Amino acid sequence: MKLPPLLAAICLTGAAVSASAADPDLGRNLAATCASCHGTNGKAVPGAGMDALAGMEKEKLLQKLKDFKSGTKPATVMQQISKGYTDEQMDRIAAYFAAQN
Amino acid sequence: MIINRRDFLKASAGAAAMAALYGCASGSSKASGHVLVVGGGYGGATVAKYLRMWSQGNVEVTLVERDAEFISCPISNLVIGGLKTLADITVSYDNLKNKWGVRVIEDEVTGIDAVSRKVKLEKGGELSYDRLVLSPGVDFLWEQLPGLKSAEAQRRILHAWKAGPQTVALRKQLEDMKDGGVYAITIPRAPYRCPPGPYERACLVANYFKTAKPRSKVLILDANEDVQSKKALFMKAWADLYPDILEYRPNNELRDVDVAGRTAILEFDRVKADVLNVIPPQRAGQIAATTGLKLINKRWVDVDWLSMEAIGTPGVHVLGDAIFPAPTMPKSGHMANQHGKLAAAAILNLLAGEEPNPDPVLMNTCYSFVDGKNGIHVASVHQYDTATKTMQPVKGAGGVSAARNELEGKAALGWAQNIWADMLA
Ligand SMILES: Cc1cc2nc3c(=O)[nH]c(=O)nc-3n(C[C@H](O)[C@H](O)[C@H](O)COP(=O)(O)OP(=O)(O)OC[C@H]3O[C@@H](n4cnc5c(N)ncnc54)[C@H](O)[C@@H]3O)c2cc1C
């Protein structure tokens, strides 16, 4: 299945920007582990009470995860989940969600 | 019936709509081929959707599922407890078909030829594939409980460990039971599907009795020496909420059942119940357990954690409850959903002639209700370890709830809505 030209062009630009990553799918794969609760690509089901992550600014998302890890942001489960990922992995996850719209 | 490429493309949605759904391409878009998925539960529905989404429609996906609709085991204990209906836990396959272009076939796969890459269907015909994914869940070892071998016996003594008609039938038995009766639930030795599930069910039946049939009892007969998940939280809930209703007996393994007498035959004891709910011992679903795949303990499929491929059978990937788990990894819907994504990524790499990701991560959270409102959880994160070639739980991460709370009762329902959408919307 071919992408329409305009979309293909946007995609190419996107790929060029993130070309520094060794495996371009790594952030996607890691972020997919969060989707079971926060929705596919971070688009949570509206009204179901889980926060959407799609389109959240990268630095903001990373700060929240840091605050979960340190315990300054009160949480039921994120304080435990956030400790399971390395800083590098979290960086990729945050970049992936920030790029979703 | 062999499905050809042209038929398949006709069944897919329009190209423009697809591109809008998929968003931008990345590495895996080079993949093409036909993936056949057996079982549309937590693992199978997830891998089917993610293969279509991540390949931007380039990989053809056929899903064979024997049931017409998806019915969730998670939240089914709330149906048994009278707090939800079967409709609340039922989701259609329409979005997989119409939005994602998955070809969904309502049938049962009865055989696999991994050399010529074909499967046989119950209603007749064959399907060919480039890669096969099996996510058939569990089947029961009825031979270990001779009294329950017949279909008639299984209609009277229910498991309700696969959601659907059994869920409704168990609810009906509880409604029909007289006040002052005994509900007994038997738990097999671990590993079994959903470690906290039996204890959650006992809580929700006790919660129902507490208001509707206050003289009745709940008896847990556990083959294991201890509560298998969230022990302290369940024990506290039982002591605080159901002190005169619920009794827990460890080291009580079911040996057989006297169906007419509704009696559980244990090693040293016989227990008569008004409603006897037997969770039988389990192994990988039939299609994974009896088609020549390498099993561990004769029950669970041994997989390569980088691809979820069955060890020794290239081209066949196995997910979910059917596999031999990595250390501390539960048989859960959440985990099966994560296996589905790991497999989707690896299959797209393999179809594109690339190596799968060498550093996969899986995470799990199982919520349980201890009454109509309060929830508790257990969470873990698992990273691939090259030394042991398996997924290892990350030390210091994960854990359980500090105490039961209403926020997590709400989170459990929110989790269900989101994971169902992640699989099927
Ligand atoms: C009461 C209960 C409560 C639970 N609560 C939770 C919870 O809160 N959270 C959680 O994460 N997990 C929970 N679980 C566990 C969860 O249900 C399972 O771990 C999960 O369903 C496993 O997914 P799967 O894909 O391996 O199997 P399933 O989801 O069972 O899917 C298997 C599918 O394959 C189909 N199938 C099998 N063989 C064939 C064949 N040959 N041909 C065609 N179709 C076939 C079946 O019809 C079925 O639809 C619970 C389980 C129970 C019983």
Q: Ligand 1 site: residues with CB under 6 angstroms?
A: B 38-44, 64-67, 73-74, 76-77, 108-109, 135-137, 161, 193-194, 197, 201, 285, 287, 320-322, 331-334, 336, 366-367
B60 pairs with which residues across the strands?
A: B34
Q: Is the pLDDT of residue B12 over 50?
A: no
Shortest Cα distance, chain A CAs vs residue B363, angstroms: 6
Per-residue model confidence as pLDDT tens digits over B123-155: 999 999 999 999 999 999 999 999 999 999 999
Span B343-352, mean pLDDT?
98
Domain span at residue B254?
151-281
Of all protein residues, the one whose alpha carbon is nearest to atom 27 of ligand 1 is: B137
pLDDT of residue B28: 54
Q: Is the pLDDT of residue B15 over 60?
A: no
β strands within B300-401, DSSP E: 300-301, 303-304, 309-310, 316-318, 361-369, 375-385, 390-393, 399-400
Shortest Cα distance, chain A CAs vs residue B56, angstroms: 7
Q: Is the pLDDT of residue B43 over 70?
A: yes
Indicate whether B211 belongs to any domain. yes
Closest C-alpha among B187, B183, B252, B186 to residue B218: B183
Indicate whether B229 belongs to any domain. yes
C-alpha triplet B274, B275, B281: angle, nearest 5°: 135
Query: Are residues B78 and B412 in contact, defined by beta-carbon separation less than 8 angstroms?
Result: no
A36·B337 Cβ contact <8 A: yes
Indicate whether B189 belongs to any domain. yes
Band of pLDDT at residue A101, cut at 50, 70 and 90 = confident
Beta strands B390-393 and B399-400, pairing class? unpaired
Mutate: best of B59, B363, B377, B420, partner A, most A CBs <10 A: B363
Q: How far is CA B4 from the centre of its chain?
A: 31
Count: domains in chain B: 1
Report chain B's mean pLDDT, rounded to a whole number.
Answer: 94
Span B188-193, mean pLDDT?
97
Cβ neighbours of residue B168 closer than 8 Å, sequence gap 6 or more:
B79, B86
Per-residue model confidence as pLDDT tens digits over A43-100: 999 999 999 999 999 999 999 999 999 999 999 999 999 999 999 999 999 999 999 9
Closest C-alpha among B351, B181, B180, B190 to residue B273: B181
Indicate whether B333 belongs to any domain. no
- pTM score of the predicted model: 0.93
B361·A33 Cβ contact <8 A: yes
Query: Longest Cα pair distance anywhere in chain A, in angstroms?
Result: 47
Q: Is the pLDDT of residue B19 over 90?
A: no
For the beta carbon of residue B247, count every other beta carbon within 10 angstroms.
16
pLDDT of residue B86: 98
Hey, CA dihedral for B78, B284, B45, B106, is it positive or negative?
Answer: negative
Per-residue model confidence as pLDDT tens digits over B63-86: 999 999 999 999 999 999 999 999
Query: Are residues A28 and A96 in contact, defined by beta-carbon separation less than 8 angstroms?
Result: yes
Backbone dihedral region for residue B17 (phi beyond 0: left; psi -120 to 50: alpha; all else: beta): alpha
Indicate whether B405 belongs to any domain. no
Residues in chain A: 101
State the DSSP code for B355. P
H helices present in B114-250, as ranges: 151-156, 165-176, 197-212, 231-241
Indicate whether B254 belongs to any domain. yes
| Strand, helix or coil for residue B200 | helix
Query: For residue B404, what is the nearest residue in chain A, using CA coordinates?
Result: A76
Indicate whether B116 belongs to any domain. no
- Which domains does chain A show, CATH number per domain? 25-99 (1.10.760.10)
Q: Give the domain CATH number at B260.
A: 3.50.50.60
Indicate whether B192 belongs to any domain. yes
